[in-house]
Structure 1
Amino acid sequence: MSGSESWNMHKHVREVPTDAFGDISFGSLGQKTGKFARVSADTSSEVLYHLLTEQWKLSPPNLLISVTGGAKNFYLKANLKNMFHRGLIKVAQTTGAWIITGGTHTGVMKHVGQAVRDYALSSSMQGNIVAIGVATWGIIHNMDVLVDPEVG
């Protein structure tokens, strides 16, 4: 791409079968694993829904909770943080919701992750909470270890 040429997704991106998918282990949660898949930015919602419900066997949600906000870290007083954590988990539990975030460990997304982690670590777990992080590939830490060299 020359210095005067502007970037264009259709011209400068080459789509190939994914070489990044599978199970991922979360060290802070003991043996807790999740699933991940690298998909194209224009993958249809129908294909993603099929992946989540048919391939990954997630129960269809009754509600989607999208938690968005800046990625800037901020301090939350303990009582407010606890209220946010309990409220988010209670709503997700009682409605069968999926929680969707930007998938990073910063800002409000970090608080969502901590709430889900704390719930998963508690001994009184009553059903799974589904949390889905949708992050751009370029910001994933150690993304190279998520690529399967045998695929492609």
Structure 2
Amino acid sequence: MTNNATDHRLDIRSLNTSRMYRNDNNHLFETLQIKSHGTITFPRNYCNRANFIRIPPNAPPAQVKKLFFRQRLHTRPSLVISVIGSAREYSMKSKLFRIFRQGLIKVAKSTDVWVLTNGINSSITKLLGEINRTNPDPSQPIHLI
């Protein structure tokens, strides 16, 4: 019976911790004036879900960083890659795409990497989405932000 009581107390502590993170995130959402956030379910594969958040352009970078680290339970990435492309269409040759894909997956397997994009529906962002979708090892996800 003692074990059950101990387990119960641990559950309550974890519940309180979860509430604390939720309250902190709500405070950050208010501070950053975030109105749109949630989970997207993709039409091709209903099991493939992703969280999204729309951050206003005038949001303080320090607060955005704090929000990202809270979402990841205070784990920092080992590497951050920023990929910015223009809105015009660009078709990457299949050999170059294959090399880019292999390199990105190799980096993702060796370290905890975040890939930042500008969020515009452009060619390079679509290519990153395709690489993430076809990632052969789901245990080593590529975090697209």
**Higher gyration radius (CA):** 2
- Bigger RCO (CA 8 Å, 6+ sep): 1
Q: Is the 8 A contact 2:119 2:125 kept in 1?
A: yes
Residue 40 of structure 1 is matched in structure 2 by 56
Match of 1:60 among 51, 69, 76: 76
Unpaired segments ≥5 residues, structure 2: 1-30
Q: Is the 8 A contact 1:61 1:96 kept in 2?
A: yes
Q: Distance in 1 between matches of 2:73 and 2:51?
A: 11
Residue 115 of structure 1, CA deviation: 0.8
CA offsets 1:112-144 (integer angstroms, 9 cap, x no match): 11111111xx3x333221111xxxxxxxxxxxx
TM-score, normalised to structure 2, is 0.67
Cα distance, 1:104–1:29 mapped onto 2, change above 3 Å: farther
Cα distance, 1:27–1:112 mapped onto 2, change above 3 Å: same
- Secondary structure of the 1:27 match is coil
- Secondary structure of the 2:44 match is helix
TM-score, normalised to structure 1, is 0.64
Tell whether 2:100 aligns with 1:84: yes
Q: Distance in 2 between matches of 1:72 and 1:112?
A: 16
Identity %: 28
Unpaired segments ≥5 residues, structure 1: 1-14, 133-152
- Secondary structure of the 1:99 match is strand
Residue 53 of structure 1, CA deviation: 2.0
What letter is aligned with 2:141? N
- Secondary structure of the 1:23 match is strand
Residue 117 of structure 2 is matched in structure 1 by 101
Residue 5 of structure 1 is matched in structure 2 by none
Q: Figure out how many residues of one structure are paired with residues of the other and give that number.
A: 115
**TM alignment of 1:1-152, pairs within 5 A:** 17-57=33-73, 59-119=75-135, 122=136, 124-132=137-145
Q: Distance in 1 between matches of 2:132 and 2:121?
A: 12
CA RMSD in angstroms comes to 2.4
